[in-house]
Amino acid sequence: MADNFQTLESSRFGSTASAVQRNKVLRNTYWLLALSLLPTVAGAWLGVATGITQALTGGLGLVVFLGGAFGFMYAIEKTKNSAAGVPVLLGFTFFMGLMLSRMIGMILGFSNGSQLIMTAMGGTAGVFFVMATLSSVIKRDLSGMGKWLFVGALVVMVGAIVNVFVGSTAGMMAISVAVIGIFSAYMLYDLKRILDGGETNYISATLALYLDIFNVFQALLALLGIMGGERD
């Protein structure tokens, strides 16, 4: 009986520790995610102010973006368990802001550009709030979504690469809608993984959520620019 009691207590306290660990990962992820937005804004501001990314058009821009993004993500994966993990992640978010500056500069060329950017920011924040709420109330396991979302993301990425060379406005709109849908679902999936204890490294968790937010914002901004951009 004493052995059974000890086993029960061990199980109960182990479960509590697991819940504490999950909450800690979630809390650290939210803090780091908020912090990561600052270098993004700085990178976007620098790019717009200097025009440094204006020459990155077509294939050249694609190579620089994919090479830099995947290089940073590889470095983050290698350093996520060390003290260098956070600075590398923040360096990545600065780079992503810099790459985003070309689109932001184009949007600011509209007379209502600032309004479109604020709308995209508000829309992205709204999507995140909805997905965070859903992740806390949905009890079923969503791990099976992962493979389908990955396939969807690959298809959209290939379509986006093709459209860089085709330059179709209709194609850009279709891709933007697909990106918003896929990465909104990815947001729910990644948040649920943290809450269920499937992701225990807050740097990896932050990277996943950052990419979700970045893609939703970029797609919303592109869609708003195409549909609602006003010239003087």
Q: What tens digit of pLDDT does each residue of 39-66 get?
A: 999 999 999 988 887 767 666 777 888 8
The number of distinct structural domains making up the chain is: 1
Other CB atoms within a 10 A radius of the CB of residue 14 amount to 10
Range of the domain at 138: 2-228
Q: Residue 7: its pLDDT value, please?
A: 42
Question: What's the CA gap between 68 and 63, in Å, rounded?
Answer: 8
CA dist list (Å): 3 to 6, 29, 41, 118? 5, 39, 57, 61
Q: Which residue has the tokens 């260098």?
A: 84
Question: What's the CA gap between 141 and 25, in Å, rounded?
Answer: 19
57 by DSSP, 3-state: which?
Answer: coil
Question: What's the CA gap between 124 and 179, in Å, rounded?
Answer: 12
- CA 117 vs. chain centroid, Å, equals 17
Q: Residue 19: its pLDDT value, please?
A: 77
Q: Which residue has the tokens 């810099």?
A: 98
pLDDT digits over 117-163, tens only? 999 999 999 999 999 999 989 888 888 888 899 999 999 988 988 88
Question: What's the CA gap between 177 and 222, in Å, rounded?
Answer: 10
